[in-house]
Amino acid sequence: MEFFNAEIVEIKELIHNAKSFLFRLEDGKHFPYQAGQFVMLKANLHGEEVKRAYSIVSPPPKDFKHAEYIELIIKHVPGGKLTDYLFCLNEGSLIEVAGPFGQFILKEPIQEGDIFMATGSGIAPFMSMLRKVFRDHNPKEFYLFFGVRKMKEIIYADELYQWDKEHENFHLIICLSNPEKSWNGEIGYVQDLLEQYVDGFENKQAYLCGLPIMVEQSKQKLIELGVKKENIYHEEY
Ligand SMILES: Cc1cc2nc3c(=O)[nH]c(=O)nc-3n(C[C@H](O)[C@H](O)[C@H](O)COP(=O)(O)OP(=O)(O)OC[C@H]3O[C@@H](n4cnc5c(N)ncnc54)[C@H](O)[C@@H]3O)c2cc1C
């Protein structure tokens, strides 16, 4: 695995425990990737080499010039080796990056009724995929089911709600498992809402990313509803 130095050029707080990090590869390195792929970050912490995977959030670069930037979202896991370290870094800090990796890739062009299902930071690869889909002006109808516990945990809420407002073919279903009193949207788990929003599952494709239990249960449910096993793609965090 070949690692390159990257500089953190921008850090933004997205929600109380997750930040977006924009990296620029040093030494004129370029990094073409496909929507849905991930990178490995590496740091040497107290003599131990710690490597972790992070999905790329930015859409695939339009051209070679933009392929030196990548955006990631990182959720702080208190006591977690790499995230404790990353959350102490500042703009201008350096870290090592390798990639891109992974087969959890958007199949293009997207098909009528494609279903995307995420929990928590599992939204990351879908941000890359959907940013590309909207950039390409795709006219097909598709669904994003996004589950978190509380309103304050909805990562990229502004961008998601803006897409929902602007695109009639995009159906955003946010589902909270332990909502604040003021929430008036869906409550429960994403896998229990499928039939309520989607008609006819036989020829659909589904992309699942997030907690292993959500991925497993959603997969079972989709198969019961008629989605072919080979049309279900998933990544577990
Ligand atoms: C393909 C892939 C893509 C990923 N993409 C992302 C991403 O885009 N953003 C992101 O934030 N993470 C992502 N992850 C998770 C990431 O790789 C790390 O596991 C996570 O950041 C924790 O690393 P750490 O070194 O801080 O914690 P560790 O030191 O590895 O873990 C500390 C403890 O926390 C537990 N733990 C690990 N992860 C979590 C979690 N998410 N929530 C609660 N407890 C946890 C572990 O089981 C362990 O007991 C991805 C994982 C995979 C496999």
Instruction: Provide the pLDDT confidence category of residue 202 given band limits of 50, 70 and 90.
Output: very high
pLDDT tens per residue across span 131-143: 999 999 988 999 9
- pLDDT value of position 29: 82
Q: Do residues 82 and 137 share a domain?
A: no
Question: Are 55 and 120 within 8 A, CB to CB?
Answer: no
109, part of any domain: no
Q: How many domains does the chain have?
A: 2
Last residue of a domain, one of 42, 76, 101: 101
Q: For residue 143, give every residue at least 6 positions away whose Cβ sits within 8 Å of its Cβ, in sequence order, or none.
A: 113, 114, 115, 116, 171, 173, 197, 198
pLDDT(65) > 90? no
Cα 52 to ligand 1 centre (Å): 7
CA distance 136 to 80: 37
Domain span at 134: 114-236
Quote the percentage of the chain above a pLDDT of 70: 99
Q: For residue 207, give every residue at least 6 positions away whose Cβ sits within 8 Å of its Cβ, in sequence order, or none.
A: 36, 104, 106, 114, 115, 116, 117, 126, 129, 233, 234
pLDDT tens per residue across span 9-54: 999 999 999 999 999 998 888 888 999 999 999 999 999 999 999 9
Q: Do residues 19 and 123 share a domain?
A: no
Last residue of a domain, one of 70, 101, 132: 101
Mutate to test the pocket of ligand 1, among 16, 23, 54 (most ligand atoms within 8 A of CB): 54
Which atom of ligand 1 is closest in space to residue 75's alpha carbon? Answer: 11
Cα 197 to ligand 1 centre (Å): 31
Q: Do residues 94 and 119 share a domain?
A: no
Last residue of a domain, one of 55, 76, 101: 101
174, part of any domain: yes
Q: Do residues 228 and 123 share a domain?
A: yes
